[in-house]
Amino acid sequence: NAGVIQTPRHKVTGKGQEATLWCEPISGHSAVFWYRQTIVQGLEFLTYFRNQAPIDDSGMPKERFSAQMPNQSHSTLKIQSTQPQDSAVYLCASSLDWGGAETLYFGSGTRLTVL
Amino acid sequence: GDQVEQSPSALSLHEGTGSALRCNFTTTMRAVQWFRKNSRGSLINLFYLASGTKENGRLKSAFDSKERYSTLHIRDAQLEDSGTYFCAGSGSFNKLTFGAGTRLAVCP
């Protein structure tokens, strides 16, 4: 079991460019989460999927952020027109299920730097 | 919204000693998870609790949903226990709300 896999580990973009982050959840896990970590805000919830369906995206900045889960083996987080304030570590996590009752397993994260 | 107050923000222990980390929740949480950030920056799950206490080696965690707090006790601290510890509560809308973390330094 390789755990939750996130690629790339590091990404540097120029202001205004697009960034796509990839996540492969643990096989068999039906719930996938995206979080963002910054020094100022700490760990912030962005969105989550259950059985590939988007359930709650209340943490997503509405205008430039989007997340998809086209199949059970991967999810993407896309940021359009990146801004310096988007710089953060983006974490993906998965769990067997989610009813508030399942252990969450995190990937190593993607460190996004927007110049 | 749900908020989690984690304390202390930083803690220094000598090897062999122990202490406790605490998280207070502003709302009723259904469960709490404790994580530790490893050397690669990954969050490793230490405990999941819906109630009561759990123990694993030198770590012990307790969660009281009614009183809205959780604790993580570390005993006989070792150098490799150094790192950042986070608690997270499962509250409304089935998502985790994280504390700000506790930076633990274990000194010889």
Q: Do B48 and A42 touch (CB under 8 A)?
A: no
pLDDT of residue A49: 92
Per-residue model confidence as pLDDT tens digits over B77-87: 999 999 999 99
| Lowest-confidence region among A46-50, A55-59, B17-21 | A55-59
B31 lies within 8 A of chain A by CB? yes
Please answer whether residues A76 and A22 qualify as being in contact, where contact means their C-beta atoms are separated by less than 8 angstroms.
yes
Residue B92 in this model has a pLDDT that exceeds 60: no
Q: Do B95 and A89 touch (CB under 8 A)?
A: no
B6 lies within 8 A of chain A by CB? no
B108: DSSP letter: -
pLDDT of residue A56: 86
Strand pairing partners for A10? Answer: A111
A105 lies within 8 A of chain B by CB? yes
φ, ψ at B100 (rounded to 5°)? -80, -10
Q: Tell me the shortest Cα–Cα distance from B54 to chain A, in angstroms.
A: 14
Enumerate domains of chain A plus CATH numbers: 5-114 (2.60.40.10)
What is the C-alpha to C-alpha distance for residues A38 and A10, in angstroms, rounded to an integer? 15
Enumerate domains of chain B plus CATH numbers: 4-103 (2.60.40.10)
